[in-house]
Amino acid sequence: MTNDTMITVRQTARPDGFPTPGDFAFVESPVPAPEPGTALVENLQWSVDPYHREAMDSDLLWTLNSPMEGRTLGRVLDSRDPSLRPGDLVLHRKGWRTHSLVSRGEVRPVPDLGPGVPLAAHLSILGGTGLSAYVGLTRIARLKPGEDLFVSAAAGGVGTAAGRIARLLGAGRLVGSAGSARKVAYLTEEIGFDAAFDYHEGPVAELLAKAAPEGLDAVLDGVGGAHLEASIASLREHGRIAWVGAVAQYHSLSTPPPAPHNLFDLVGKSIRLEGFLVRDHMDAQEELYDLAVPHLRSGALPLDVTEAKGFEHIVDAFLGMLGGENLGKMLVTA
């Protein structure tokens, strides 16, 4: 590989269960020159996300043997569009490759948020990951100050962002679940969860009831199954569950986890269970900046990021994220 070479990842096979490196190929090609109306971007940071697991199963988002969608941050190298100038930092979705040819409508400038905001914030707490957490808490669960919240899979990208944002929003008791003792410790020691538990250590309903003995007002869940059942059991009247489609394990299963047996308690306790997709709430981006940026600048809002250095590790980073190796948002940097 030279400076004239670009590398593009392609999905070459559909996984049966957990994906493997053999489902992907790294393809080299010459770095293209921009056509009129396009710019050449050198990518610097790549987001690998749980929803990409779902993308592997059909042609809806990814097509076999074709360049793949992915949230990416890059710098314009060369341009034949006057609105995109060399050196500009941009966000776009033509990720999983070292270089991308983009048109004006495909990019969003990285906003100048002032000093102290790390570049990695844009694909983590300020990106789709953080926005999922923010929208889930504010628009779906409608968390009010002082209310008690449970976040499932809380040590992942969305979960850590939800914990941080819940604290900024003035949440009451904050409870999280995670898949290892290391993650549980991270939640309570680093993020400020009041209680956390490893969901392998017993029935989730019992663990949650112990962690939130006085009940809950709101839940951000992306796991379903026993987590959803436990949430329904621990919620008080008029509780809300924001259900975010963000946990990879879910999609790796050939059959989804069982629906909760206590679903009818949604009626008796007047509980609202609401699914959402962050793409329907892009107008919340400015609100998220308003909330988070001052705390990023002051240092009060640290990033929860697991960084894989080198584009050649993007597939391993993705598979590692699916396997739960990351603390916080899994990010690949050049």
Where does this chain bind its own copies (CB under 8 A)? 224, 228, 238, 243-245, 250, 256, 258-261, 263-277, 280
Nearer to its own copies, 66 or 270 (CB): 270
Backbone angles phi, psi at 272, to 5 degrees: -105, 125
Smallest distance from its own copies to CB 153, Å: 14
Smallest distance from its own copies to CB 50, Å: 12
Backbone angles phi, psi at 117, to 5 degrees: -100, 110
SS (H, E, C) 187-218: HHHHHCCCEEEECCCCCHHHHHHHHCCCCEEE
Smallest distance from its own copies to CB 268, Å: 6
- Name the β-bridge partners of 196: 176
Distance (Å, whole) CA 260 – CA 35:
54
Distance (Å, whole) CA 103 – CA 40:
9
Nearer to its own copies, 109 or 275 (CB): 275
Nearer to its own copies, 62 or 193 (CB): 62
Smallest distance from its own copies to CB 192, Å: 27
Judge whether 201 and 183 are in contact, CB under 8 Å.
no
Smallest distance from its own copies to CB 114, Å: 34
How many Cα atoms sit within 13 Å of 213 on the Cβ side?
1
Distance (Å, whole) CA 67 – CA 313:
17
- CA angle, 330 then 331 then 334, to 5°: 155
For 322, which DSSP code? H
Q: For residues 313, 318, 322 and 323, what is the CA-based torsion angle, rounded to 10 degrees?
A: 0
Nearer to its own copies, 1 or 259 (CB): 259
Smallest distance from its own copies to CB 253, Å: 10
Nearer to its own copies, 1 or 253 (CB): 253
Smallest distance from its own copies to CB 188, Å: 28
Helices (H) and strands (E) counted in the chain, each on its own, are 10, 15
Nearer to its own copies, 278 or 308 (CB): 278
Nearer to its own copies, 74 or 260 (CB): 260
Nearer to its own copies, 193 or 250 (CB): 250
Buried b (16+ CB within 10 A) or exposed e, 147-167: bbbbbbbbbbbbbbbbbbbbb
Backbone angles phi, psi at 182, to 5 degrees: -60, -45
Nearer to its own copies, 96 or 243 (CB): 243
